[in-house]
Chain A
Amino acid sequence: MTSTDENKKYLLTGNEACAEAAIQAGCRFYYGYPITPQNEILTHMAIRMPQVGGTSIQVESELAAINMVHGSAAAGARTMTSSSSPGISLKQEGISYLAGSELPCVIVNIQRGGPGLGDISPSQADYFQAVKGGGHGDYHTIVLAPSSVQETADLVYDAFDLADRYRNPVMILGDAQLGQMMESVVFNKKCEPDSFKKEWALTGATGRKRNIIKSFYPVQGELEEFNAKLQEKYSLIKSKEVRYEEINTEDADIVVVAYGTCARICKEILMKNKIPNIKIGLLRPITLWPYPSQVIQEIAGKVQAILTVEMSAGQMVEDVRLSVSGRCPVYFYGRTGGGIPSPKDIIRKIIEIIPVKEKATCAT
């Protein structure tokens, strides 16, 4: 791939689409370290960045990568790093510094199984780390969870805009399935990186007062004041940037809440009407932070039950329960360690939850 034509369809892996979309979005500084299952991002950047006059460095460590992102973001550029779970753990200190310094950047986590070295299979077990602040201090990253290759590309564009708009790190939370899978993708989103004026950036203090990028507030009271300002920003993001996809939730008996790869699998059950006697809805969070709590709360008042499906031992389900606040029972079905929930397993779980009406059958 040497250039992109906005009308053309490309067959790409999620990883490649993610990298190419970053380039289309004006990212010119990428820093990465090899780790499966996200290596195609590094490879794509190594080929494409020189073609567009950008920089792609294979760094000595994840620490170096996230801190080079810190430097390039401070210098006012669109910048990105990517990794998979163990590597993202290493970046957490840096992400806290980026949030504390209010620097815009994009971090991609193509999740694999954990804990520890785990395996290289798909997983969604980094949810807590991504949305609850994986590093130290009171901060949030905006977390976007695509569920197809096209949506990966689309959300990468949005990630750069959101990062610049709020001066905040944004995470793309994918998984090995999404990263490795090939689908058709078009790159036709308009992107205007220059529309965000970065007067705070370090460019050399010529003709203006000097700028300082810092997260250190040693004087009593200053840090609390700064944190209050951060929280205000987070409230604004919560009020404006929640995104989700909602299908058939109106008169559903049960609503499934799932994101990313799991949401696709759940969608198959709904769309192919696999359990004709039970009305099933789907709520797919696209932003994991801010979380679509409000809509889940509304749904909870109307359904018999909510089922959360994840590739984890139960992480997002905690946010679902918080949103539901006891309005309806919340059930969980999860697989870990590379297990991908199958439609059959989810159907079995749904039939178990919803008292079997007469003739409720499973048409798998």
Chain B
Amino acid sequence: MEAVYKTPDTMIDTPTHYCPGCGHGIIQRLIAEIIDEKNIKGKTIGIAPVGCAVLAYNYLDIDMCEAAHGRPPAVATGIKRVHPDKIVFSYQGDGDLAAIGLSEIIHTANRSENITVIFVNNAVYGMTNGQMAPTTLLNQKTLTTPQGRSEQCDGPPLRICELLSVVGGSRFIARASVTSPKNIINTKQLIEKGFKTQIQEKGFSLIEVLSPCPVYWRMSSVESIKFIDDEMTKTFPLGVFKDWESQN
């Protein structure tokens, strides 16, 4: 009998440490599927961030490197410059990419380093127990915004796709979510496009994925899916923000 659904070859067959309802497992599976389908397992190098996804190398069966908090784009640059023929991607959370590593991501995009960034936005610091992230919504309660995020005190949520799409060197910038089969398929297509951008040597690509964190949103899995669809997408609309293919 032919198996129609199995663990991708690039995915290590083991339970993940992610909380129930978390999106990281889905997103990492998508990456593994794409690596399998493009047959690039032996030439892909990934960068794991500081944050919930630091142990991504326990699940993705490829060469991987850890990076200091916020620095995956710099580490990816260092690797890609040595191996321009390899596929290099960084996998980063919102604290890592949009707070402490904002400088690196902007300059890496602007140099149009030929790498792909998977940016997982769950609007909260998960690994450190749920503090405000740069992408936390207004009025959203976190450990450090007990009354809800205040625009006056904390500023509005930072929109990374919108920001990076005006950076000269960026080539493919898109935002997706993993709240439904349709959205997951769309996310996969966009990440594939990111890898394609790199394989065709077009330059910097980033795919932001809105991802649920039921534990630190203090919601059920179902509520957190609804929160993304109804609330998060108002601040972070889904779509393609920049595409080298349609620009030409």
Contact = CB atoms under 8 A, between A and B. Distances in A.
Interface of A: 29, 31, 55, 57, 59-61, 63-65, 67-77, 79, 93-94, 97, 101, 202-207, 210-216, 218
Given A61-B104, A205-B41, A215-B66, 10 more contacts: A29-B81, A59-B107, A67-B75, A72-B78, A79-B78, A202-B45, A202-B64, A203-B83, A214-B65, A218-B55
B238 interface: no
Nearest to B111: A57
A267 to B, nearest CB: 40
26 contacts: A29-B81, A31-B78, A59-B107, A63-B71, A64-B104, A67-B67, A67-B78, A70-B68, A70-B71, A71-B65, A71-B81, A74-B75, A74-B79, A75-B82, A77-B82, A79-B78, A93-B68, A94-B68, A202-B45, A204-B83, A205-B42, A206-B43, A207-B42, A211-B63, A212-B65, A214-B65
Query: In the complex, which range does the number of interface residues on chain B fall in?
Result: 35 or more
A79 B48 CA distance: 21
A202 B63 contact: yes
B75 A212 contact: no
B63 A72 contact: no
Contacts of A72: 78-79, 81-82
Contacts, number: 133
Contacts of A216: 54-55, 66
Interface string B34-57: 000000011111011000001101
A77 B47 CA distance: 17
B133 interface: no
Most chain A CB inside 10 Å of its own CB: which residue of B48, B61, B81, B104: B81
Contacts of B107: 59-60, 64
Nearest first, the 6 closest Cβ-Cβ pairs linking A and B are A71-B78, A206-B42, A67-B74, A75-B82, A67-B71, A68-B78
Interface string B71-94: 100111111111100100000000
A67 B43 contact: no
B77 A71 contact: yes
Given A60-B104, A61-B103, A204-B44, A210 B78 contact: no
A32 to B, nearest CB: 13
A71 B76 contact: yes
A94 B107 CA distance: 18
B128 to A, nearest CB: 14
Contacts of A79: 78
A205 to B, nearest CB: 5
Given A29-B81, A75-B79, A76-B82, A67 B68 contact: yes
A202 B79 contact: yes
B161 interface: no
A101 B43 contact: no
B62 interface: yes
A70 B45 contact: no
Most chain B CB inside 10 Å of its own CB: which residue of A74, A79, A101, A207: A74
Contacts of A214: 48, 57, 64-66
A55 B104 CA distance: 18
Interface string B111-142: 10000000000000000000000000000000
A202 to B, nearest CB: 4
B75 A71 contact: yes
Most chain B CB inside 10 Å of its own CB: which residue of A64, A71, A93, A206: A71
Given A60-B103, A203-B86, A70 B43 contact: no
B71 A101 contact: no
A69 B81 CA distance: 11
Contacts of B68: 67, 70, 93-94, 97
Contacts of A70: 65, 67-68, 71, 74-75, 78
B225 to A, nearest CB: 29
Contacts of A210: 61-64
Contact of A205 (B62, B65, B74, B75): B62
